[in-house]
């Protein structure tokens, strides 16, 4: 738990609805709170530059470990420059992806050593974990259908089998980490938004009681 602010991350495979949910939650929470939204990789000038590099479809030669280190570098920068200061000011931070993405994608998707990735995450976040993580669960084929028409980035080009391994990783994480709450992402945007808001309110209330 953070001292003053409240930190929420959104997770799920590509096309699961994270960005849509982030925008609707921010609209609602902003009515009574000060909210900062970021995306990962990204959220700062440097982290957005790393994003361009790591997602560039021409960079097919990036090795798995290099990829993990690039995501970690982008995360380290956004934690220090944006997330920690916002939490210290008492703001709510909503991150479209955070450290679970590294475990799901580089760990379960690519097969990199999980302990190496947990250690790397700890290093690049200084041990800053979300108070609440909303995991949007959806079948990769359904998520893919939603996004037809968009140009695939480097990771999306890797296809449905990769996304299926990533999903399996998220399911393991969601079953083992109490901070992660799993939502059925096949429902309507309104239903998902309402459930997310309920979970956030419950978590905020119990935090304020402590
Ligand atoms: P992500 O950020 O996880 O990649 P997006 O929020 O960009 O996902 O959503 C991917 C696509 O699916 C977008 O076209 C979006 O409008 C659509 N979408 C998002 N949520 C839903 C939903 N609950 N039902 C149907 N389509 C959705
Ligand atoms: P993005 O377009 O933000 O995600 P989405 O397609 O869900 O809207 O692209 C970010 C990509 O980077 C996505 O494919 C997941 C991947 N990624 C990792 O592999 N590891 C990480 O640690 C992070 C933060 C992202």
pLDDT tens figures, 192-208: 999 999 999 999 988 87
Q: What is the per-residue pLDDT for 157? A: 66
User: So where are the chain's domains?
Assistant: 6-209
CB proximity list for 152: less than 8 A, separation 6 or greater: 57
Average pLDDT over residues 96-115: 98
Closest to 19 (Cα-Cα) out of 178, 172, 150: 150
| Third-level CATH fold of 6-209 | Rossmann fold (3.40.50)
Substitution site in 11, 16, 17, 141 for ligand 1 pocket (most atoms within 8 Å of beta carbon): 17
Q: Averaging pLDDT over each range in 31-35, 125-129, 141-145, 152-156, which range is the top one?
A: 125-129
Q: Longest C-alpha distance within the chain, in Å? A: 51
Q: What is the rounded distance in angstroms from the CA atom of residue 154 to the CA atom of residue 162?
A: 12
Q: What is the per-residue pLDDT for 145? A: 86
What confidence tier does 158 reach under pLDDT thresholds 50, 70, 90? confident
Q: Whose C-alpha lies nearest to ligand 1, atom 24?
A: 188
Peptide bond into 41 cis (omega under 30): yes
Q: Whose C-alpha lies nearest to ligand 1, atom 9?
A: 17
Which ligand 2 atom is at minimum distance from the Cα of 19? Answer: 8
Q: How far is CA 170 from the centre of its chain?
A: 11
Label residue 124 exposed, middle or buried (CB < 10 Å: 0-12, 13-18, 19+).
buried
pLDDT at 61 over 60: yes
CA 176 to ligand 2 center in whole angstroms: 22
Q: What is the rounded distance in angstroms from the CA atom of residue 48 to the CA atom of residue 40?
A: 9
Q: Is 18 touching ligand 1 by the criterion CB < 6 Å?
A: yes
Q: Mean pLDDT over all residues of the chain?
A: 94
Average pLDDT over residues 61-73: 97
Q: What is the rounded distance in angstroms from the CA atom of residue 169 to the CA atom of residue 130?
A: 18
What confidence tier does 1 reach under pLDDT thresholds 50, 70, 90? very low
Q: Is 193 touching ligand 2 by the criterion CB < 6 Å?
A: no
Q: What is the per-residue pLDDT for 206? A: 87
Whether the Cβ atoms of residue 144 and residue 93 lie closer than 8 Å to each other: no
What is the share, in percent, of the chain residues with pLDDT greater than 90?
A: 85
Q: What is the rounded distance in angstroms from the CA atom of residue 53 to the CA atom of residue 1?
A: 33
Q: Is 41 touching ligand 2 by the criterion CB < 6 Å?
A: yes
Backbone CA torsion sign across 190, 194, 199, 204: positive
């Amino acid at each position: 738990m953070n001292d003053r602010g409240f930190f929420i991350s959104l997770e799920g495979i590509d096309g699961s609805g994270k960005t849509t949910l982030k925008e609707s939650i921010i609209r609602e929470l902003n009515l009574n709170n000060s909210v900062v939204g970021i995306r990962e990789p990204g959220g700062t000038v440097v982290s957005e530059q790393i994003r361009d590099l790591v997602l560039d479809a021409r960079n097919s030669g990036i090795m798995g470990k290099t990829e993990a280190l690039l995501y970690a570098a982008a995360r380290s920068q956004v934690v220090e420059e944006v997330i920690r200061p916002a939490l210290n000011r008492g703001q709510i931070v909503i991150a479209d992806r955070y450290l679970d993405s590294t475990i799901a994608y580089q760990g379960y998707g690519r097969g990199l050593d999980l302990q190496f990735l947990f250690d790397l995450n700890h290093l690049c976040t200084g041990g800053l974990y979300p108070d609440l993580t909303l995991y949007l669960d959806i079948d990769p084929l359904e998520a893919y259908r939603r996004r037809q028409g968009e140009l695939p980035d480097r990771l999306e080009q890797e296809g449905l089998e990769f996304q299926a391994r990533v999903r399996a990783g998220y399911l393991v994480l969601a079953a083992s980490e109490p901070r992660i709450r799993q939502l059925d992402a096949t429902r309507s945007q309104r239903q998902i938004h309402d459930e997310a808001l309920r979970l956030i309110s419950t978590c905020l209330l119990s935090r304020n009681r402590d």
